[in-house]
Amino acid sequence: MTQRLLILGGTREAADLAAAAVERFAERLDVVTSLAGRLAPSQILPGRLRVGGFGGAAALADYLGAERIDAVIDATHPFAKTMSGQAAAACETAGVPRLALVRPPWRQRPGDDWRLVHGAAQAAAILPAIARRVFLTTGPGSVGAFAGLERIWFLVRRFEPANGPLPLAGYEIVVARPPFSEAGERALMERHRIDTLVTKQSGGATEAKLAAARELGIPVVMIERPPPPPGPFVATVEDAIAWLEASGLARA
Ligand code: NAP
């Protein structure tokens, strides 16, 4: 009998998982990926797609029942803590097994100068003492935290163009999507005379900027992750597939 997997997506790992699950289980597993829908997907998503919020944890629990979801893998971004919390609550309510696929954080290497902070407000608070020209790669949701810093100029990277002006005194926007090369990141930072990089501790494939900062000898203001969701988690797509196999889902 076909069983149904819901992947909470929005990350490269979620797309890779959808591809691996479709390939591994074929018609034995109906793979549905859910996206919040704020950005156009940057990868092809094998399986089915649903787009938009569920309307909170209780509504997600209803969805799991109505759609007869047999398992959920939360492969959202490590900073998508509202969605992860709601998924945990909804799966518990609906009695649906859940696994979190959490990409490993980046690790400091010799030569790195990381300033660890909790949240964008703390990042903004330490900038005046160390920075004049900042490369800001924290995503659209946190730009407002840097609004009061009138003596600092920002190079703001976005995956999609901004809808209107940003609340920053001086800035330029660069629109680009991964992959980013080390040489490209270094050239970008040199061209704009960047003296500080601000990033979330996202982990994953966008770490070339960290190597470039190391080479240029500039500090990195690293916004630490929120706590991970409760319950079981794995770090790789392969381990998520192994969990599906071990759970007896999509048994031949
Ligand atoms: P969030 O704050 O945890 O979630 C806000 C709301 O968006 C949720 O309550 C939910 O709405 C909806 N939502 C989030 N992920 C969803 C999904 N996969 N499917 C359906 N609805 C979803 O999330 P966020 O930080 O805004 O991130 C939004 C999406 O972008 C996530 O899917 C995440 O994986 C991806 N993303 C986030 C970041 C980041 O830095 N935060 C970076 C890259 C990608 P309802 O309450 O209505 O259900």
Instruction: Please count the other Cβ atoms lying within 10 Å of the Cβ belonging to residue 17.
Output: 27
Residue of minimum CA distance from atom 43 in ligand 1: 77
DSSP alpha helices (H): ranges in the chain?
12-25, 57-66, 81-94, 120-130, 182-191, 208-216, 237-246
CA 115/CA 238 separation, integer angstroms: 33
Instruction: Determine the residue type at 146.
Output: F
Pairing of strands 29-35, 98-101: unpaired
Kindly list the protein residues whose Cβ atom lies closer than 6 A to any atom of ligand 1.
8-11, 34-36, 38, 53-56, 60, 76-77, 79-83, 86, 139, 200
pLDDT at 40: 79
CA of 12 to the centre of ligand 1 (A): 14
Read off the tokens for 26. Answer: 């074929």
Sequential pLDDT tens for the chain (252 residues): 789 999 999 999 999 999 999 999 999 999 999 999 988 777 889 999 999 999 999 999 999 999 999 999 999 999 999 999 999 999 999 999 999 999 999 999 999 999 999 999 999 999 999 999 999 999 999 999 999 999 999 999 999 999 999 999 999 999 999 999 999 999 999 999 999 999 999 999 999 999 999 999 999 999 999 999 999 999 999 999 999 999 987 665
Q: What is the DSSP letter of 241?
A: H
CA of 248 to the centre of ligand 1 (A): 29
Task: Tell me the best of 63, 79, 83 to mutate to test the pocket of ligand 1, counting ligand atoms within 8 Å of each CB and taking the most.
Answer: 83
Torsion angles phi and psi, residue 242, rounded to 5: -60, -35
CA 29/CA 37 separation, integer angstroms: 24
